Amino acid sequence: MSNSAAALFDVDGTLVDSSYLHTVTWWQALRQGGHHLPMARIHRAIGLGAGELLDHLLGAERDCDGDTELDAAHQALYAAQWPSLEPLPGAGRVLRACAERGWTVVLATSASAQEVEVLRKVLDADDAIADQVHADDVAAAKPAPDLVEQALAQAGANAGRAVFVGDTAWDVHAAHRAGVPCLGVLSGGWSRTELADAGAAQIYRDVGELADYLDASLLADPAALHPAHAL
């Protein structure tokens, strides 16, 4: 590993305002498949990879024969919402601020490769983004640590020289399992208490507030972060 310092960012609900669109379109897809679940329960599964989400909602011991159809239905329904996607306040600003301070910025998301390309166009901040890791790159999506570990590898950083930013408990768990501290944001609809209980090191309203208070955060100075910060 080099001495690189990595700022790793989740995308859905953290940088792009898409969490509730995912909730609604998974709700629709599940109903099409005969599964009637409340949206509140589905919302708490957003951030998981598709397989993990279905395990969480329908039970890991279920008959999985219909999973491919459910995932395809969700993807089609969600794709219809792409034109309405918008970045969350401060998304481009925080990415550029991190890059300017010397962080290697990597997106680490449970979204598919195709979705990531759409999300990057929405963000319009490719000048600040060094790389990306998506669900198609790893064997297991969040809350497994695979995405975070792969993002570290692509950034050339070790866990003690990285910070993860996410909006769900799944992000916090994935980061912690990889030994990386996680900053939480409330823009995906999880509460401050839920993120704190999961182990988020610092919590902000959104990435705009994080950008405003970057000097007081773990992302203040990559030179100040060293392996002793690893979890």
Measured between alpha carbons, how far is residue 58 from residues 73, 132, 149, 206 in Å?
16, 30, 28, 31
The whole-chain average pLDDT of the chain stands at 94
- What are the distances in angstroms from CA 34 to CA 30, 136, 151? 6, 27, 37
Confidence of residue 2 (pLDDT cuts 50, 70, 90): low
The pLDDT value recorded for residue 141 is 87
Domain ranges of the chain: 6-18+85-229, 19-83
How sure is the predictor about 226, in pLDDT bands with cuts at 50, 70 and 90? low
pLDDT bracket for residue 179 (50, 70, 90): very high
Q: What is the pTM (predicted TM-score) of this model?
A: 0.94
If you compute the radius of gyration of the chain from its CA atoms, what whole number of angstroms results?
Answer: 17
Given a cut of 80, is residue 217 above it in pLDDT?
yes
Tokens (6 digits) for 102: 């010397």
Going by the DSSP 8-state scheme, the letter that residue 29 receives in this structure is: H
Share of the chain above pLDDT 90, in %: 86
**Does the pLDDT value for residue 229 go beyond 90?**
no
87 forms bridges with which residues in the sheet? 16
Predicted local distance difference test score (pLDDT) of residue 63: 86
Residue 1 reports pLDDT greater than 60: no
What is the topology classification, in CATH, of domain 6-18+85-229? Rossmann fold (3.40.50)
